[in-house]
Amino acid sequence: MPAYTDEGMWLLNEPPRERLKEKYQFDLTDAWLEHARLASVRFNNGGAGSFVSGNGLLITNHHIGSDALSKLSTPTRNLLRDGFNAATQADELKCDDLELNVLQDIEDVTEKVNAALKGDQPPANAAAARRSAMAAIEKESLEKAGLRSDVVTLYQGGAYHLYRYKKYTDVRLVFAPESAIAGFGGDVDNFEFPRFNLDVCFFRAYEGGKPVAPKHFFTFSKDGPKEGDLVFVTGHPGTTNRLETVAKLEHRRDQTLPFTLARIRAMEAALHQYGERGPDQRRQSSTDHHRYANARKAFSGQYQGLLDSVTLRTKSTAEYDLSAAAAKLPDGKEMNDRYLAAVTKVRDVQKVFKDIEKEYTLIETGTAYASPLFSHARHLVRLTAELQKPNGERLREYRDSNLESLKLELFSPAPLYPDLERAKLTASLTFLAEQLSVSHPAVKKVLEGKSPARRADELVTTRLFDPAVRKKIFEGGKEAADLADDPMMQLAAALDGPARAVRKKYEEQVEEPERQAYGEIAKVRFAVLGRTVAPDATFTLRLAYGVVKGYEAEGKPVPFATTYGGLFEKAYLQQDKEPFDLPKRWLDGRAKLDPAVPFNFASTADTIGGNSGSPVLNRAGEFVGINFDRNRHGLVRNFVYTDVQARHISVHSKGILEALKLYDCPALVKELGAK
């Protein structure tokens, strides 16, 4: 048998104890796991963080905090560019719509969910029954425990686990460095290594107006990791596709990724152009812009990976091997037949998906109207209709257990800029017309015979910019007729029918049949391999592990870590030009920093987008760094794990302490109490 690789984003309730024991002689105890779980935090805007003091202090990435930093900024206070440093707790700034979750426990509810599907139901009924069962489990859990409760689909439908979270919604900004050092190298160096980023941001969780006192938090290591050290990453990897069938991956290669890339490029070009109009526009658009630039690179990397025939050949072999192994089981013939039937089913589903994917993505998931203004309008239109139905019959996002989180988003007072929203709407409406053509009935409804630019002009006259208006409509329910002439509300209402229709098709003809097929595939996989393969990532808490380690690129060794000396050298070589321009504080304070102190480091642990802000821990469960990126060799990890060159990249805990020397933040340093 081959030695284990460090592959795996492991479930906290199915941890890789044997592997760690065998390869690293490490005992993964229940206490270690519980501590790691309760000190790890999910940032619901797409990342991770962790408690690093008994006073509710949290560390995450600057690029995870940037959404809040941008929303807290004004034309005269640019927190994104200039950073922030609260002198006292009273100076900490409340973030309007940031929700944090801490995972309290996990319960396997696979049988409960599947029990709802007894008998041979048509997919439409099965989808409804499954949705209803999930909503009921969540509602019961919410009412019983008072905790946010989500049923998570694992193994593409092979298992269902109930995750219960403690929720924090009073989150305040404590400290952020300047974006020029947090994101040194900007989009140019995104997915590259060596790197030099102080990609950190500190927040504090409050409850009842007082800082939270978490029982579990990570001790901040003053030395951080050395080359060769075993490290752990606890975070919320977003999405991987490693257990998908070859047909599904071919569909991604031939349909989903080209379409997604085209969409992202259209949005990126528009945001780039908007940001270039002037400094103010740049501030307004930079978070969105970076998000699309990052997504373009990530999806490009995935696409290159799938175009390399080696990738799919590996997957074909695995599919064949599993079939062959299944055939050798005691009930081999039946097992293998079931497996092959399920693989065929997934293949057939892609033919249906191909015909509706663009419509579904554009019209229902809303990429055709890429503005929070439309999301708000749609929620207001749908909420009032959905809330009149029983919990189990609603569209999933309107289930009782999700309403609080939804309201937090809907009533957010975070500023929206008309010109920026106009630019985003113009770009996304244009993309809609490009993809479906203006003769498509839904596109006709959207554009009303006008050019996308002219239609966007109309739509941004909406009153939904004002959170008070949104609240009023929400509270007025169906009676809020005074907003009947609002163009965005009208658009959301006019599109509700077509959008629901394509969603129904998707859920009944794609999602549900896929889940059932993957349920069968998972049974075969469990029978052959047991639980030795971790499920694909689902933006839920996972444990990864690996070794701090350099690699070789273009024939030269790339050391495991960078240093502050390297930072200043790189800025010099790039002539201090944006995005390689250092903040004045850094240029002035250079002498205060030890050039030999490590800044960023690389490790082999298995991470993916969504892991941003994940704490990196040592054997003792201490905080030794914070993950913020992968190198480009790691982009293929959506489909296959490799550790030849692929690495995730973290800020070194010693490096963080060194950087804080440049900032006047004695209370923060004291609170970290590094040991």
Instruction: Note whether 105 binds its own copies by CB under 8 A.
Output: no
* Minimum distance, C-beta of residue 282 to its own copies, in the bound complex (Å): 9
Q: Tell me if 575 sits within 8 A of 597, measured CB to CB.
A: no
* Minimum distance, C-beta of residue 452 to its own copies, in the bound complex (Å): 6
Instruction: Note whether 418 binds its own copies by CB under 8 A.
Output: no
- Selected from 141, 179, 284, 435, the binder of its own copies by CB under 8 A is 435
Please list the alpha-helical segments (H only) found in 276-361.
Answer: 279-307, 309-327, 332-359
Instruction: Note whether 434 binds its own copies by CB under 8 A.
Output: yes
- Selected from 37, 296, 345, 633, the binder of its own copies by CB under 8 A is 296
Instruction: Note whether 170 binds its own copies by CB under 8 A.
Output: no
**Long-range pairs for 322-325 at CB < 8 Å and ≥24 separation?**
322/524, 322/525, 322/528, 322/529, 325/528
- Specify the amino acid at residue 182: A
- The residue among 88 and 309 lying less far from its own copies, judged by its C-beta, is 309
- The residue among 266 and 522 lying less far from its own copies, judged by its C-beta, is 266
- DSSP states of 14-68 as a string? S--HHHHHHHH-----HHHHHHHHHHEEEETTTEEEEE-STT-EEEE-HHHHHHH
Task: Taking the CA atoms of 454, 455, 460 and 462 in sequence, report the sign of the dihedral they define.
Answer: positive
- The residue among 273 and 645 lying less far from its own copies, judged by its C-beta, is 273
Instruction: Note whether 183 binds its own copies by CB under 8 A.
Output: no
- Selected from 73, 430, 603, 618, the binder of its own copies by CB under 8 A is 430
CA 508 distance to own-chain centroid:
26
- The residue among 455 and 542 lying less far from its own copies, judged by its C-beta, is 455
Instruction: Note whether 317 binds its own copies by CB under 8 A.
Output: no
Instruction: Note whether 81 binds its own copies by CB under 8 A.
Output: no
Strands (E), 75-136: 84-85, 93-94, 100-108
- Helix or strand or coil: residue 325? helix
Tokens of 530: 């047991």
Please state, in angstroms and as integers, the Cα–Cα distance from residue 637 to each residue in 6, 58, 243, 263, following that order: 12, 28, 12, 22
CA separation for the pair 293, 571 (Å, rounded): 22
* Minimum distance, C-beta of residue 645 to its own copies, in the bound complex (Å): 14
H/E/C letters for each residue in 611-622? CCCCEEECCCCC
Q: Judged by CB under 8 A, how many residues of this single chain contact its own copies? A: 45
* Minimum distance, C-beta of residue 514 to its own copies, in the bound complex (Å): 22
* Minimum distance, C-beta of residue 272 to its own copies, in the bound complex (Å): 7
CA 667 distance to own-chain centroid:
31
- The residue among 454 and 590 lying less far from its own copies, judged by its C-beta, is 454
Instruction: Note whether 575 binds its own copies by CB under 8 A.
Output: yes
**Which residues inside 584-643 make contact with its own copies, applying CB under 8 A?**
none
* Minimum distance, C-beta of residue 289 to its own copies, in the bound complex (Å): 12
Please state, in angstroms and as integers, the Cα–Cα distance from residue 229 to each residue in 235, 365, 560, 618, 656, following that order: 19, 43, 11, 8, 19
- Selected from 77, 115, 278, 478, the binder of its own copies by CB under 8 A is 278
- Selected from 216, 272, 407, 445, the binder of its own copies by CB under 8 A is 272
The C-alpha angle with vertex 64 and arms to 63 and 67, in degrees rounded to 5, equals 90
* Minimum distance, C-beta of residue 262 to its own copies, in the bound complex (Å): 5
Helix/strand/coil percentages in the chain, nearest 5: 55, 15, 30
* Minimum distance, C-beta of residue 362 to its own copies, in the bound complex (Å): 13
- The residue among 308 and 331 lying less far from its own copies, judged by its C-beta, is 308
Instruction: Note whether 298 binds its own copies by CB under 8 A.
Output: no
- Helix or strand or coil: residue 186? helix
* Minimum distance, C-beta of residue 462 to its own copies, in the bound complex (Å): 20
Instruction: Note whether 76 binds its own copies by CB under 8 A.
Output: no
- Selected from 215, 226, 396, 450, the binder of its own copies by CB under 8 A is 450
Spell out the residues 6+ positions from residue 153 whose beta carbon is closer than 8 angstroms to its own: 159, 160, 515, 538
- Selected from 87, 115, 307, 324, the binder of its own copies by CB under 8 A is 307
Q: Tell me if 503 sits within 8 A of 364, measured CB to CB.
A: yes
- Selected from 23, 112, 454, 590, the binder of its own copies by CB under 8 A is 454
User: What single-letter DSSP state applies at residue 76?
Assistant: T
Q: Tell me if 537 sits within 8 A of 365, measured CB to CB.
A: no
* Minimum distance, C-beta of residue 644 to its own copies, in the bound complex (Å): 15
Instruction: Give the count of beta carbons closer than 10 Å to the beta carbon of residue 449.
Output: 8
Instruction: Note whether 269 binds its own copies by CB under 8 A.
Output: yes
Instruction: Note whether 445 binds its own copies by CB under 8 A.
Output: no
Instruction: Note whether 579 binds its own copies by CB under 8 A.
Output: yes
Q: Tell me if 260 sits within 8 A of 299, measured CB to CB.
A: yes
* Minimum distance, C-beta of residue 463 to its own copies, in the bound complex (Å): 22
Please give the residue ranges that form the binding site for its own copies (CB under 8 A).
Answer: 186-188, 253-254, 257-258, 261-262, 265-266, 268-269, 272-273, 276-279, 296, 300, 303-305, 307-309, 430, 433-435, 437-439, 447, 449-454, 574-575, 577, 579
